[in-house]
Chain A
Amino acid sequence: MKKTGAQILCESLIKEGVEVIFGILGGSVLPIYDTFPQYPQLRHILVRHEQGAAHAADGYARATHRAGVCIATSGPGATNLVTGIACAYMDSAPMVAITGQVARPVIGRDAFQETDITGITIPITKHNYLVTDVRELARTIKEAFHIAQTGRPGPVLIDIPRDVQQEQTDFVYPDKVDLPGYRIVSRGHPAQIKKAAKLINEAEQPVIVAGRGVIISQAYDEFKEFAEKAQIPVAHTLLGLSCFPGDHILDLGMMGMHGTGSANMAVQNADLLIAVGMRFDDRATANTREFAPNARVIHIDIDPAEIGKNVPVDVPVVGDIKSVLTALNEEVDRREHVDWLSQIDQWRCEYPSQDVRQSNELLPQYIIRQICEATRGDALMVTGVGQNQMFVARYFTFTRPDSLISAGGLGPMGFELPAAIGVKIGRPDEAVWCVAGDGGFQMTIQELATVTQENVAVKIAIMNNRALGMVRQWQELFYSQRYVDTKLWNPDFIKIAEAYEIPGVRVKRREEVRPAIRKAMEDPGPFLIDFFIEPEENIYPIVPPGECLARFFEPSRTETWQRKSGVSITEF
């Protein structure tokens, strides 16, 4: 029996195990939406802006480890997806983005709502397709899911002209893909693993730097076994948080620009770095020329192009983290690094990482600690971008695997709410907290309608400092306190929530924090807390731009910092 392109799309999605699609309609996807009622097993979540669809699909993908699917119409619908696609690409999240395109006869004629979305998304997708023949559609979808979900995951876009959606053909879903140019090395080379093990066994001051690859590979047990057996402390990139228990004796927390003193000092003083599923992003390494000057580097990653991209590597091991660590665990000796760990303990004492200073002001650090304690760490934390993100990264103790969903690479403000929707829909039985800044929250605030329409029980905590906080912090520290356009006039977020039929409370004082969190947790549905935090609170330490990791700055140490570095913090 012949089927239309739209039916083929829906049936192919079902074959791929897709249950949820995030999207919004428009002229060039009408034939697809017209067939949705025939496939009730596909749940469509109607968002209010295509960026929301892409971030929600991204959140869903990170929460479920399966490709998130989003759909948008041609032209502006497709271009509105771009931020979300780029975000998924930077953070290696599997996604299949489907866009409608104008009908084939008018492609290239600047038709109404025509955009060359395959051209636009070449640098931000793992691959993309323009389907010009309905007979190619099923194979294309099969390939798209395969590419998105295997190897180093990423987004794949399929652009389908409207008349292809309506054209009919026989539907046969292929069993396998034939992609001669797509090869994945999943097992590490045994000789490389032996070389790595030798370096590890000989190291006296080793540090593991763990990235999101550990989480993508779901290698928590293998990773923990590795760290414990070789007794090596673990520093995380932002997205590597929650790959290893934050309360473990070997855990150093986050490294990098806003990393903990102990993580940054350990990395800078290491004689061996074992980089696991991370890509030496500049926010994690700071100045690469002075990065870990005495360390040899082992780099384990599934993407060969990451090896040597940003820092020189002594022993590369290309492969899937889980498989490589399983093999490596056989080869490494059980070790004790008593001196090294006691040195690290000294740094921990010297630079306490989760201290919240005593204050009558409402501090974001205190709020995040309270959410952590109230939930006992048993929550999925979705963050925005900026200070709120760094406060979560630093002050929430991630004790359960895979519990931080944050946009690390692209850093798009406004990620938090739509991503939290996707996370909650992907893992409905878990508590999902969406920590937002007041600036970023207003970039995708319209998705509150999606929250209510779909009854998505996310708990929204706005760290409201009436400012674009991170930028304000940079203006304070690096632009001589010339505050240009970082102060925000904000609407009353509680009234906004009320208009969207979402209950909420405003918190202005410390003693109101716990009751508000408890109230949010007890409410079965969505809930919003507007935390009126101290507006000038900064995230510290900070490694000033261009500096190396060891030269992190915090106000309590201004004098020491200036003595050591010979420059004033305001000179940057």
Chain B
Amino acid sequence: MALVEDKPGVLNRVASLFRRRSFNIESLAVGGSEHPGLSRMTIVAIGDSAQIEQVRKQLEKLINVVKVSDITEGNMVTRELALIKVKAAASTRSEIMQIVSIFRANIVDVAPGSVTVEVTGDEDKVNSLLGLLRDFGVKEVSRTGRIALTRGSSS
């Protein structure tokens, strides 16, 4: 998780660093933070502890990056939002709605032949719902990638 200055080109600098040092980004989400002028980036990267430590230190060298924390081990809340457009005939629509309601997801658009589902939760929840909906035929998926905060009153 990184706090970065909200300036032009910062995302490019971060992305460029990952590419340049051959680190893989699984997901990257960026948006506002509680500090005016600072954005919060949640980056999911896979690697051993030495690699992750190296990523963290390289990120901290970027002038526009104010703070980086590796929250893998920490107590954290993570959420992801996904929009899933799924095929829905008259015969299957009610079954889809049942699944959606079990997952406390919402149907945000209904069209002839399809419904669009909005789901928020941790990655597992999104993956399970997506897995169930695949049986009906998933037409399009858009996921935000994870965002995260540490629990409690820290920092």
Binding site for B on A (CB under 8 A): 118-119, 122-123, 126-127, 130, 147, 179-182, 303-305, 307-309
Q: Which residues of chain B from 24 to 61 have any CB-CB distance to chain A below 8 Å in the complex? A: 50, 53-54, 57-58, 60-61
**Residues A181 and B65 in contact, CB atoms below 8 Å apart:** yes
**Residues B12 and A119 in contact, CB atoms below 8 Å apart:** yes
Interface residues of chain B: helix, strand, loop or mixed (majority): helix
Q: Which of A130, A182, A307 contacts B63 (CB 8 A)?
A: A182
Instruction: Name the residue of chain B whose CB is nearest to the CB of A126.
Output: B63
Chain B nearest Cβ from A337, distance in angstroms:
32
**Residues B61 and A305 in contact, CB atoms below 8 Å apart:** yes
Given A122-B13, A122-B16, A123-B16, are A181 and B62 also a contact pair (CB < 8 Å)? yes
User: Which of the four size classes fits the interface of chain B?
Assistant: 20 to 34
Cβ contacts under 8 Å, B8 to chain A: 130
Instruction: Name the residue of chain B whose CB is nearest to the CB of A308.
Output: B50
How far does the alpha carbon of A130 sit from the alpha carbon of B65 in the complex, in Å? 18
- Name the residue among A127, A181, A182, A303 with the largest chain B CB count within 10 angstroms: A181
How far does the alpha carbon of A123 sit from the alpha carbon of B9 in the complex, in Å? 13
B151 within 8 A of A: no
Chain A nearest Cβ from B154, distance in angstroms:
19
Chain B nearest Cβ from A89, distance in angstroms:
12
Cβ contacts under 8 Å, B13 to chain A: 122
Cβ contacts under 8 Å, A182 to chain B: 63
Instruction: Name the residue of chain B whose CB is nearest to the CB of A152.
Output: B61
**Residues A305 and B62 in contact, CB atoms below 8 Å apart:** no
How far does the alpha carbon of A181 sit from the alpha carbon of B20 in the complex, in Å? 21
**Residues A180 and B66 in contact, CB atoms below 8 Å apart:** yes
How far does the alpha carbon of A394 sit from the alpha carbon of B1 in the complex, in Å? 47
How far does the alpha carbon of A126 sit from the alpha carbon of B58 in the complex, in Å? 11
Cβ contacts under 8 Å, B4 to chain A: 181
**Residues B63 and A127 in contact, CB atoms below 8 Å apart:** yes
How far does the alpha carbon of A181 sit from the alpha carbon of B3 in the complex, in Å? 9
**Residues B16 and A305 in contact, CB atoms below 8 Å apart:** no
Q: Which of A119, A127, A130, A304 contacts B57 (CB 8 A)?
A: A304
Q: Which of B17, B53, B57, B66 contacts A181 (CB 8 A)?
A: B66
Q: Which of A118, A130, A181, A309 contacts B54 (CB 8 A)?
A: A309
How far does the alpha carbon of A303 sit from the alpha carbon of B66 in the complex, in Å? 16
Cβ contacts under 8 Å, B64 to chain A: 181
**Residues B54 and A305 in contact, CB atoms below 8 Å apart:** yes
Given A127-B63, A179-B63, A182-B63, are A305 and B12 also a contact pair (CB < 8 Å)? no
Chain A nearest Cβ from B40, distance in angstroms:
14
Cβ contacts under 8 Å, A179 to chain B: 63
Instruction: Name the residue of chain A whose CB is nearest to the CB of B35.
Output: A180
Chain B nearest Cβ from A49, distance in angstroms:
27
Could you list 6 examples of A-B contacts with CB < 8 Å? A118-B9, A119-B9, A122-B13, A181-B65, A305-B57, A309-B54
**Residues A303 and B61 in contact, CB atoms below 8 Å apart:** yes
How far does the alpha carbon of A304 sit from the alpha carbon of B55 in the complex, in Å? 12
Chain B nearest Cβ from A438, distance in angstroms:
34
B123 within 8 A of A: no
**Residues A181 and B9 in contact, CB atoms below 8 Å apart:** no
B5 within 8 A of A: yes
Cβ contacts under 8 Å, B5 to chain A: 180-181
**Residues B63 and A122 in contact, CB atoms below 8 Å apart:** no
